[in-house]
Every structure is written in C-alpha cells, then in structure tokens.
Amino acid sequence: MNFEIKPLHPVFAAEITGINLRTPPSRELVNTIDTAMDRYAVVVLRDQRLDDDQQLAFAQAMGPLEPSPAVVDQHLHRLKYREMVDISNLDVDGSVMAADDRRRMFNFGNLLWHSDSSFKATPAKYSMLHARVVPPTGGETEFADMRAAYDELSAEQQAQIEALVCDHSLIYSRALLGFDEFTPEEKQMFAPVPQRLVRRHAGSGRRSVYLSAHIGTIHGWRRPEAMVLIRELTEHATQRRFVYRHEWRVHDLVIWDNRCTMHRARPFDDRQYKRDMRRLTLEDSAPTLQQPQ
C-alpha cells in the first residue's frame, strides 16, 4: 500500500493518506497505524466512506473493543451496534434532540477536556470517531498532547505529582456543569475509580499526565486542594502550543490515544444543524495502577 504520513502539528497529530478502510485491514496496515499512533497519538484518515459494519470491522482488527458505552438513558440507542457510541445531537428517529433532553444535557460534558472512559476501572486505549454528518460551522474537536505537557512541567512539579492517584467519575465531570440528575442505578454504575496521575505511555515509553474532567479528587488530599492542582495542570496542559484542532469533513475518521491525549468538542448550533459522529473505542490493557510504570 502506498501510504504517506504528514504531520499536522509541531508536537503530535498526523494525517495518513493512501489508505482505504472499507475492507478489513491487513496485519501490516494495523502495524502501520499503531506505529504512527505511538509517535503522533492522533491520526487523521480522510475520505473513508464507511458504514457501521465497515467501521466495526476496522475497529475490531485494531484490538479489543470496550463492550458498551457509559451513557445515560441507554435504552434510547439509535445505532445498530451496542458498542458504537452515538456522538450526535440526534434522537432515535434521527431528528434533532429536544432542547431539554436529558441526553443533550449529559452530552455537553464532551465540551470539557477529557480522556475517554478514564472513569472506568480499565480505561480506553484508542477512540475511533467517524464523521457522517457535520454542521456547516463549529463542532470541531480539539486534542492536547499530555506527553508534551508533562515534558514541560518543572522537575519540582513532576516530582510533586509522580505518585499521585486520582478518583475519576462521570458524576464529577457532570457536576462541573451543574448536571446532577443521576438515578440511584447510575450513581452506582458511575462510582469513582482510581487512576494514576502520571503514566508511562506504553507505545513511546514517554511519561504523560493523565488528566480528565472526570477527576474529582486526589487520594489523601482535601478536595479543594486537589481540584486547584488539577485545574492548574489542566490549564498548563491545554495551552495552544499543545493543541491540534480538527475541522471535520464528512467521512473523516480520527483515531486518538486516550492514554496520552485529552480532547474536547467545540460548540455548534445544535438546535439548527445535525452533527452525526460514531465512535468505537478500544479497551486499555489494565487499570492504570496495574500497568508498568
């Protein structure tokens, strides 16, 4: 295959051209993408005219999938596959969601800087998001490189955070937006999980700071002290020089590594326009506290 890798940003993110994912990828192609992911952490593949079956076949070839998305009102699933996360503003019948829909309120959480499934005991490895319908303006996705951010902390800051463990929960990220309408079952399902704050990225051997809007506290710290530090680190880590902004075209597939990047959606007129994106997610190898450091 005649592919080419073009960097999209000074520190990370690249586009690979010359790849067609409509047929399941060969071992060689999977290795090519994994190698690019280890270096760039965000890989853009344009013009991939995939349906749900093809997107699923590609994702399965990349590794083990997360079984089911953690969302509210799971019984209202619009898509064919349970594993496919519905990143859209659409109701089950394909119309734009009602303004006061609970799922719409919940989904606003995607506008906060986060790492996918950091609130699960075993978090996410890659997310693979495919654009089916995009709005005429807005709705970009921004990515920030947590390895570059770690490298630019001072030696004192690196030492201060080295051994810290944070609790992550969907309830914490939604609380930042004033959303607290969780049912007792959801509260149980979204109970906090511990994750290391500093990780070693398996693919590159580099250290990264594992931040996410889902963080609600640091073990052994008072919560306001913890949240002040997390906010400081998040502001540091999301400075423009660490950020790649993706402007979506229909049929873009973007793969990102949640172990060493954060991302957030940017707003668009979601009362007026449709945005239909579908995500499949690979599971990481183990809880971060059980991974080699």
Q: Which is nearer to ligand OGA, 32 or 141 (CB)?
A: 141
Q: Crossing angle, helix 27-40 and helix 52-62, to 10 degrees?
A: 80
Residues in 60-89 at the binding interface with ligand OGA, rule: CB under 6 A? 87
Contact flag: residue 66 with Mn ion (CB under 5 A): no
Count of residues in the chain: 293
279 binds ligand OGA (CB under 6 A): yes
CA–CA distance from 253 to each of 110, 141, 143, 249, 250 (Å)? 18, 12, 14, 9, 9
| Residue 72 interacting partner from ligand OGA, Mn ion, none (CB closer than 5 to 8 Å by kind) | none
Residue 97 binds to ligand OGA (criterion: CB under 6 A): no
DSSP 8-state class, residue 79: S
Q: Is residue 265 involved in binding ligand OGA (CB under 6 A)?
A: yes
Number of alpha helices (DSSP H) and beta strands (DSSP E) in the chain: 8, 15
Q: Considering only residues 13, 277, 280, 282, which one is a binding residue for ligand OGA as defined by CB under 6 A? A: 277
Count Cα atoms within 13 angstroms, Cβ side, for 135.
20
Shortest Å, Cβ 141 to ligand OGA: 4
Taking the C-alpha atoms of residue 226 and residue 216, their distance in angstroms, rounded to an integer, is: 8
Stretch near Mn ion under the rule CB under 5 A, chosen from 116-124, 176-184, 251-259, 267-275: 116-124
CB 115 to Mn ion: min, Å: 8
116 binds ligand OGA (CB under 6 A): yes
103 binds ligand OGA (CB under 6 A): no
**CA atoms 172, 176, 182, 186: torsion sign:** negative
Closest among 262, 67, 89, 72 to 170, alpha carbons compared: 72
116 sits near Mn ion (criterion: CB under 5 A) = yes
Residues at the site binding ligand OGA, with contacts judged by CB under 6 A: 87, 110, 116, 127, 129, 141, 263, 265, 277, 279
